[in-house]
Amino acid sequence: MTKFSKIILTVVMVVVWLVMVTVLIPMKSSRGQWATVAICLLINGGLAVLYSCIDGRPATFREWLKR
């Protein structure tokens, strides 16, 4: 089940990047571009934390960094 979850999360992360690029190309406002990039980075950051906790939730932040 963990391998399947990692595959799904990886696909979702790639989709977030593809959507970001698709939205940024026609966008003319630089403020909108910065907002879109920030939102996509926050989403992918959250997904990355979730991805790293799939095998087992670390007890402390230091243990999480050792992974």
User: What's residue 67's pLDDT?
Assistant: 63
User: What's residue 64's pLDDT?
Assistant: 67
Residue 2 near residue 55, CB atoms below 8 Å: yes
User: What's residue 45's pLDDT?
Assistant: 92
Q: Which pLDDT tens digit goes with each residue over 9-62?
A: 999 999 999 998 898 888 888 898 899 999 999 999 999 888 888 877 777 777
Residue 40 near residue 20, CB atoms below 8 Å: yes
Q: How many Å apart are CA 49 and CA 26, to the nearest integer?
A: 30
User: What's residue 55's pLDDT?
Assistant: 75
pTM above threshold 0.85: no
